[in-house]
């Protein structure tokens, strides 16, 4: 007998960043829900993209949102033309993406990459929506502010990042005093076994070829440097109010166990699933209920072992840099995130080497330690620090490339 999930499937959804890896997976989960529960499941309010106008228009024609928004204002005309006669509204530009997030919908999937998601995510938070948060950079860059905004508006935050979604399912907040440790697992990325000399000449193609997950270019590079896990420690700190010494990382190359929560009575609970983002996405869309998803299923009989190891701080210095920033607090995570975004883009553009990413972040942080412990009160303070750190990191990249 099929459960009555009408209260779940009637939720109106906005997808910010629908053309990216998470956005496409979200629409895949919604398509599956429409096949399973009825064609009107998860009506869509808005779909947004930055520049991929063709895919956005194709998604809009298939999923019938009320509105489609392209961030790159120059492509607004093309979008309008592609949607002519469909009855779907269109808009373009950065402000239009922020306004889209503020339109009434029940769930907003925040799947824009980088700190560019901060303003739209906050717009959705401020109207008290349920936020399915895939993006981690916005909470790393503006953790305190983001947390305050959620508390003030009464918004509901459901983590989509697989480790945090797993933690969300495992954590018993009524017994918060008994949570001894939350361990996030890392696959170790494509260079887990590589010596430093080989990593020094790694190409962007090698760095984005993740062994287990299919993801956007930026997060794939972050996984290769282990900065992704560092960002996730900071994300976990802000999402779950956990002190840095209750957060740990283990390398788990199979990416089956996503998070382990250890309690004071000696119990350790683990969350397992196949490495498929459609599982946490379906969980976030249906929470607190459970619904069917098209994700790959776990077959433990096929896997003959699950292994765990401690990350190597020598070859993966980004993890330590992030842990230091987590302990420092204030603007340190904002600067870390901004410098990393610039360094990753420079690496993807072949302007710096793979190992230079950590150097750019470290040099940017060293140059900014004087005022990095201040706690910003508003978005402008965050954006200002973010901009300054980007300029500095860019200058460091140029010096390295010269
Ligand atoms: N992929 C994963 O498996 C995964 C897992 C956990 C967490 N996450 C997090 O989820 C977020 C998205 O990751 P992803 O891998 O899906 O990234 P992605 O494939 O690069 O997609 C990014 C999306 O954001 C849009 N976008 C890019 N720059 C923008 C801007 N300045 N303003 C507005 N929209 C912009 C892109 O539009 P265009 O396509 O038009 O460029 C695209 O729709 C990241 O924060 C990542 O860390 C991802």
> What are the extents of the domains in the chain?
6-160, 162-274+286-324, 329-402
CA 284 to the chain's CA centroid: 13
Query: Is residue 369 over pLDDT 70?
Result: no
Q: What pLDDT is recorded for position 401?
A: 87
Q: Ligand 1 in contact with 137 (CB < 6 A)? A: yes
Q: Which run of H or E residues covers position 367?
A: helix 356-367
Share of the chain above pLDDT 70, in %: 98
Instruction: Give yes or no for residue 353 having a pLDDT over 60.
Output: yes
For 232-279, the pLDDT digits (tens) are 999 999 999 999 999 999 999 999 999 999 999 999 999 999 999 999
* 45 and 53 Cβ atoms separated by less than 8 Å: no
Please name the residue whose Cα sits nearest to atom 2 of ligand 1. 215
Express each pLDDT in 19-59 by its tens digit.
999 999 999 999 999 999 999 999 999 999 999 999 999 99
**Ligand 1 atom with least separation from CA of 162:** 6
> Is there an atom of ligand 1 within 6 Å of 75 CB?
no
Atom of ligand 1 nearest to the CA of 219: 47
Judge whether residue 391 has pLDDT over 60. yes
How large is the angle between the packed helices 356-367 and 217-225, nearest 10 degrees? 90
Residue 159 CB less than 6 A away from ligand 1: no
* Inter-CA distances, 136 with 237, 261, 385, Å: 12, 20, 18
Q: Verify whether ligand 1 is closer than 6 Å to residue 332 (CB atom).
A: no
Amino acid 392: pLDDT: 97
146: pLDDT strictly greater than 70: yes
Fold of 6-160: Rossmann fold (3.40.50)
Atom number, ligand 1, closest to the C-alpha of residue 220: 15
Cis amide prior to 283 (ω within 30 degrees): no
**304 pLDDT band (50/70/90 cuts)?**
confident
For residue 333 and ligand 1, the question of a CB distance below 6 A is answered with no
Which protein residue's CA is at the shortest distance from atom 29 of ligand 1? 50
Per-residue DSSP letter, 156 = E
277 lines ligand 1 (CB under 6 A): yes
Q: Residue 51: CB within 6 Å of ligand 1?
A: yes
**Is the Cβ atom of 336 under 6 angstroms away from ligand 1?**
no
Ligand 1 neighbourhood includes 115 CB (under 6 angstroms):
no
Distance CA 197, CA 240 (A): 38
Q: Is the CB of 116 under 6 A from ligand 1?
A: yes
pLDDT, residue 374, reads 66
Is the pLDDT at 398 greater than 90? The verdict is yes
> Does 49 sit in the ligand 1 pocket, CB within 6 Å?
yes
Instruction: Determine if ligand 1 sits within 6 Å of the CB of residue 199.
Output: no
Distances, alpha carbon 311 to alpha carbons 73, 186, 217, 230, 273, in Å: 43, 9, 22, 11, 22
**Class of CATH domain 329-402:** mainly alpha
Tokens matching residue 205: 């193609």
In 47-142, alpha helices (H): 53-63, 76-82, 94-102, 118-126, 137-141
Check residues 331 and 376 and name the one with the higher pLDDT: 331
Q: Can you give the pLDDT at residue 145?
A: 95
Residue nearest to atom 6 of ligand 1 (CA): 161
Q: What is the dihedral of CA 43, 46, 52, 58, to 10 degrees?
A: 30
Dihedral angle of Cα 90, 92, 95, 101, to the nearest 10 degrees:
40
Q: In the structure encoding, which two tokens stand for residue 397, read together?
A: 């990249």
Residue whose Cα lies nearest atom 9 of ligand 1: it is 135
Using only the alpha carbons of the chain, give its radius of gyration.
Answer: 21
Residues 113-143 have pLDDT tens digits of: 999 999 999 999 999 999 999 999 999 999 9
Picking from 11-25, 109-123, 362-376, which range would have the lowest pLDDT averaged per residue?
362-376
By most ligand atoms within 8 Å of CB, the mutation choice from 15, 16, 17 for ligand 1 is 17
Under DSSP, the state recorded for 350 is: T
Task: Return mean pLDDT, the chain.
Answer: 96
What is residue 370's predicted lDDT score, i.e. its pLDDT?
Answer: 46
């Amino acid at each position: 007998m099929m459960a009555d999930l009408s209260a779940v499937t009637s939720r109106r959804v906005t997808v910010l960043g629908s053309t990216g890896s998470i956005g496409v997976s979200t629409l895949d989960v919604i398509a599956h829900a429409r096949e399973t529960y009825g064609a009107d499941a998860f009506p869509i309010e808005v779909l947004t993209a930055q520049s991929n106008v063709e895919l956005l228009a194709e998604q809009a024609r298939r999923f019938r949102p009320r509105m489609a928004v392209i961030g790159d204002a120059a492509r607004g005309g093309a979008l309008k033309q592609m949607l002519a006669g469909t009855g779907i509204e269109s808009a373009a530009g950065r402000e239009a993406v922020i306004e889209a997030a503020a339109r009434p919908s029940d769930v907003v999937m925040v799947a824009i990459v980088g700190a560019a998601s901060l303003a739209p995510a906050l717009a959705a938070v401020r109207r008290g929506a349920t936020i399915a948060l895939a993006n981690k950079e916005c909470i790393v860059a503006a953790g305190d502010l983001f947390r305050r905004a959620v508390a003030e508006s009464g918004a509901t935050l459901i983590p989509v990042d697989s480790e945090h979604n797993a933690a969300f399912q495992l954590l018993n907040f009524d017994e918060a005093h008994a949570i001894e440790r939350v361990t996030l697992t890392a696959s170790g990325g494509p260079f887990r076994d590589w010596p430093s000399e080989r990593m020094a000449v790694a190409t962007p193609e090698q760095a984005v070829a993740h062994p287990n997950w299919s993801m956007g270019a930026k997060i794939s590079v972050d996984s290769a440097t282990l900065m992704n896990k560092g960002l996730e420690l900071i994300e976990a700190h802000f999402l779950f109010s956990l002190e840095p010494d209750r957060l740990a990382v283990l390398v788990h190359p199979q990416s089956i166990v996503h998070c382990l929560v250890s309690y004071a009575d000696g119990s350790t609970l683990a969350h397992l699933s196949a490495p498929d983002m459609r599982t946490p996405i379906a969980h976030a869309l249906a929470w607190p209920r459970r619904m069917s998803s098209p994700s790959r299923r776990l077959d433990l009989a096929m896997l003959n072992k699950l292994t765990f190891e401690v990350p190597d701080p020598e070859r993966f210095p980004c993890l330590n840099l992030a842990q230091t920033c987590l302990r420092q607090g204030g603007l340190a995570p904002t600067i870390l995130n901004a410098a990393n975004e610039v360094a990753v883009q420079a690496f993807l553009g072949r302007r710096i080497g793979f190992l230079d990413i950590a150097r750019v972040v470290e040099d940017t942080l060293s140059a900014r330690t004087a005022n990095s412990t201040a706690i910003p009160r508003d978005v402008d303070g965050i954006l200002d620090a973010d901009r300054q750190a980007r300029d500095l990191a860019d200058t460091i990249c140029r010096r390295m490339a010269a």
